[in-house]
């Protein structure tokens, strides 16, 4: 696969080759078939999340290193086997009346942050600022964590990509749906112990918002305050 | 020193003993794994294995392989298997039975439901410390997401999102009929 790809006689400046437009942002993708990127074994993208935009949970076949170019926001990753260490409950009992939610760690993002994410770990990002949140990422598709082909492959847990994975250069590109949409809704209902219509909702079949959606209402995830942020409640 | 180290390195282990199962539910079945922690030789091979045994109507919750490809070989019984690719398309939806082989690429989601009294398989994984991530259940990816991400992502109510997150208490195996581990919808 890596024949003569590094026999480069000339280097060029590279511009994004594909733009995926979403309800609350866009994803710009550089063509990883470009000789320089093929030689380096990487691909590159840039996501722009508008204020109140939410980049829905997605995982990739390769590790990635990201850099926050502009804006601020919140980011969460779900790591297999890790506990939900962020919990909001009045008495510490998650089945009681005071229980609201529990989830894995949520982190604040701001300009200059560099984020490392292993292959297969899903990540979501919310822009809670007043300006676009811009993040650039390099995907190390030549890394041994990637055991698929030398293409960046996104797996969406929610949302979808109506334009399809155009960077794969398939002759007939089809819209990309989320991972639940491929299962029989009955299987999902059995696995989640939920009603069939809720299982169908998980499939996002009638959704054309893309993978960055606009948040409806407040985004009240459990998160510690950033340094200098006022506490909402005063303890005695 | 090779005689005392590499030459004497243990290179066999038995995966068929239910008493060493990593996941065990008497009514559903068991799963045992062998990786470089349990058999250090596998670090050199960069391979690992998983032995599974499911009783009738038991289900392995939908999951994906985080860092490995999986080669699944059925040693006994039958199961219905669905596999979903990165495009969200169902790329496999069939019954598989004894003697059949299925290769499941990294990242592809898979669900298995036993359709015989005893469905047994061996999976070889192309990583000595292969990891999975489940889509449903107590340690699943959806359980780790905030309710707000679920309500906005799937356009469902907070109550529905709560059911999606918390109704299934199991981590790996469940009943496909849906009665086990189910919490009240109220």
A55-100 pLDDT, tens per residue?
Answer: 999 999 999 888 998 999 999 999 888 888 898 876 555 556 677 8
What does the pLDDT average to over B86-111? 92
Three-state DSSP class for residue A145: coil
Q: How confident is the model at residue A229 (pLDDT cuts 50, 70, 90)?
A: low
The predicted structure's pLDDT at residue B52: 94
Residue A234 scores a pLDDT above 60: no
Q: Considering CB atoms only, which of B59, B93, B164 is closest to A194?
A: B164
* DSSP state for residue B179 in the 8-state scheme: -
Q: Which residues 120-159 of chain A have a CB within 8 Å of chain B?
A: 120-122, 124, 145-148, 153-159
B143-178 exposure pattern, b = at least 16 Cβ within 10 A, e = fewer? bbbbbbbbbbbbbbeeebbbbbbbbbebbbbbbbeb
CB contact under 8 A, B86 and A61: yes
**How close is the nearest chain B Cα to the Cα of A13, in Å?**
30
Task: Identify all chain A residues contacting B82, using CB atoms and an 8 Å cutoff.
Answer: 182-184, 187
Q: Tokens 């449903």 identify what position?
A: B136
Q: How confident is the model at residue B184 (pLDDT cuts 50, 70, 90)?
A: very low
The predicted structure's pLDDT at residue B99: 87
Rounded to an integer, what distance in angstroms lies between the CA atom of residue A175 and that of residue A167?
13
> What are A183's two structure tokens?
């299962």
Rounded to an integer, what distance in angstroms lies between the CA atom of residue B17 and that of residue A59?
35
**How close is the nearest chain B Cα to the Cα of A48, in Å?**
18
User: Which residues touch B64 (CB under 8 Å, ≥6 apart)?
Assistant: A59, A120, A155, A179, B106, B107, B108, B109, B110, B132, B133, B135
Q: Considering CB atoms only, which of B66, B67, B176 is closest to A190?
A: B176
**How close is the nearest chain A Cα to the Cα of B97, in Å?**
19
Contact of B122 with B98, CB cutoff 8 Å: no
The rounded percent of chain B whose pLDDT value lies above 70 is: 93
Contact of B130 with B124, CB cutoff 8 Å: no
> Which of the residue ranges A3-7, A52-56, B77-81, B174-178 would you say has the lowest mean pLDDT?
A3-7
Average pLDDT, chain A: 88
CB contact under 8 A, A124 and B152: no
Q: How confident is the model at residue B180 (pLDDT cuts 50, 70, 90)?
A: very low
Contact of A14 with A37, CB cutoff 8 Å: yes
Residue B7 scores a pLDDT above 90: no
CB contact under 8 A, B90 and A157: no
The predicted structure's pLDDT at residue A225: 82
Rounded to an integer, what distance in angstroms lies between the CA atom of residue A176 and that of residue A171?
15
**A43 and chain B: CB distance < 8 Å anywhere?**
no
**A99 and chain B: CB distance < 8 Å anywhere?**
no
User: Which residues touch A235 (CB under 8 Å, ≥6 apart)?
Assistant: none
CB contact under 8 A, A177 and B85: no
Q: What is the CA radius of gyration of chain A?
A: 20
Residue B49 scores a pLDDT above 70: yes
The predicted structure's pLDDT at residue A181: 94
């Amino acid at each position: 696969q890596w024949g003569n790809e590094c026999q480069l006689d000339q280097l060029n400046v590279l511009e994004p080759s594909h733009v995926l437009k979403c309800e609350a942002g866009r994803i710009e993708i550089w063509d990883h078939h470009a000789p320089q990127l093929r030689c380096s074994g990487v691909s590159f993208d840039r996501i722009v999340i508008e204020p109140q935009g939410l980049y829905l949970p997605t995982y990739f076949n390769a590790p990635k290193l990201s850099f926050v170019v502009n804006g601020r926001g919140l980011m969460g990753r779900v790591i297999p086997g890790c506990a939900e260490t962020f919990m909001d409950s009045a008495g510490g009992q998650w089945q009681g009346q005071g229980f609201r939610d529990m989830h894995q760690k949520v982190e604040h993002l701001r300009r200059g942050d560099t984020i490392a994410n292993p292959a297969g770990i899903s990540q979501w990002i919310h822009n809670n600022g007043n300006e676009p949140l811009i993040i650039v990422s390099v995907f190390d598709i030549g890394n041994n964590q990637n055991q698929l082909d030398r293409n960046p492959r996104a797996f969406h847990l929610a949302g979808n990509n109506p334009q399809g994975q155009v960077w794969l250069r398939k002759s007939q590109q089809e819209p990309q749906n989320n991972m639940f949409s491929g299962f029989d809704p009955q299987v999902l209902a059995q696995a989640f112990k939920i009603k069939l219509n809720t299982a169908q909702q998980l499939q996002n079949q009638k959704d054309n918002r893309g993978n960055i959606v606009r948040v409806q209402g407040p985004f009240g995830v459990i998160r510690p305050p950033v340094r200098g942020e006022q506490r909402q409640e005063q303890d005695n | 020193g090779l005689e005392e180290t590499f030459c004497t390195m243990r290179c066999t282990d038995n995966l068929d003993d239910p008493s060493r199962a990593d996941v065990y539910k008497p009514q559903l079945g068991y799963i045992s794994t062998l990786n470089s922690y349990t058999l250090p030789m596998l670090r050199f091979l960069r391979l690992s294995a998983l032995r599974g045994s499911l009783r009738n109507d038991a289900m392995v919750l939908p999951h994906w392989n985080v860092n490995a490809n999986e080669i699944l070989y059925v040693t006994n019984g039958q199961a219905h298997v669905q596999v979903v690719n990165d495009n969200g398309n169902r790329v496999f939806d069939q019954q598989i039975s004894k003697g059949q082989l299925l290769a499941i690429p990294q990242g592809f989601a898979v669900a298995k439901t036993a359709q015989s009294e005893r469905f047994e398989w061996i999976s070889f994984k192309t990583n000595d410390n292969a990891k999975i991530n489940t889509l449903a259940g107590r340690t699943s990816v959806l359980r780790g997401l905030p309710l707000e991400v679920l309500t906005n992502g799937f356009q469902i109510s907070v109550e529905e999102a709560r059911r999606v997150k918390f109704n299934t208490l199991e981590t790996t195996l469940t009943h496909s009929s849906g009665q086990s581990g189910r919490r009240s919808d109220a």
